Amino acid sequence: MIKLSINGKGEISFMGRLRDKPYMTYALLGIMVLVYLLMTISGGTENVANLVRFGAKYNPLIRAGEYWRLLTPIFIHIGFTHILMNGITLYFIGQYVETLFGHWRFLLIFLVSGIAGNLASFAFSPSLSAGASTSIFGLFGAFMMLGESFSRNQAIVSMARTFLLFIVLNIATDIFVSGIDIASHLGGLVGGFLIAYVSGVTFGKVSLVKRIVAGITLVVIIIAMFIMGMRSSF
């Protein structure tokens, strides 16, 4: 549906149409593709030195003070298959979440989930890692929050159950496939679940008590994982 409005000068404005589009999802995808192309022409997306140069999660450098590496890995991918699969998933899932939560809430959930996932990896995994899957699992977590908060809405509950099955299948795959950073996925999932309560949604009210409890829990988890990562021996 296209919404048009007429301003005081009788001119047609297309801002309503823009607001209806999941432009945050498109922008995030655009950034990922741009970073992938830059990495490809400057040394490759599977080159360890290039991954570190562009901001992959690398524990020793985070401990050295490069804390921005808890954010930048979200936009970095290792190989074409990696960005293809994450890009397709974000394209479809991102549109749903952005529509339900609104543009800026969606962006908040995406970024906080990614940081939480990278912190979990920092705390529990010594491996170099990167990818938007931390944030994507956070979007799955946001759906779980919707299923719990709006349990009387059958459409939302049905969608939440579908994504719960998808989460279980993905975690099962993580366990049996080598090279997957399961800690980052679980961290992103929990981060997304909690930050979704804090952000709220555009179409209904979320319990203030739940929002406060979720916010405190998220902060405690983030601080705990950061301390664990800083004190770990790997």
Task: Give Cα separations from 134 to 14, 72, 114, 140, 168 (angstroms).
Answer: 34, 12, 5, 10, 15
Q: Clarify whether 133 is annotated catalytic.
A: yes
| Cα 92 from Cα 98, distance rounded (Å) | 10
Find how far residue 60's CA is from the centre of its chain. 24
Among 82, 113, 149, 185, the active-site one is: 185
Q: Which of 133, 149, 184, 199 is catalytic?
A: 133
Is residue 218 within 8 A of residue 194, CB to CB? The reply is: yes
What φ, ψ does residue 129 adopt, rounded to 5°?
Answer: -150, 160
User: Is residue 77 annotated as part of the catalytic site, yes or no?
Assistant: no
Whether 108 contacts 199, CB under 8 Å? yes
User: Known catalytic residues?
Assistant: 133, 185
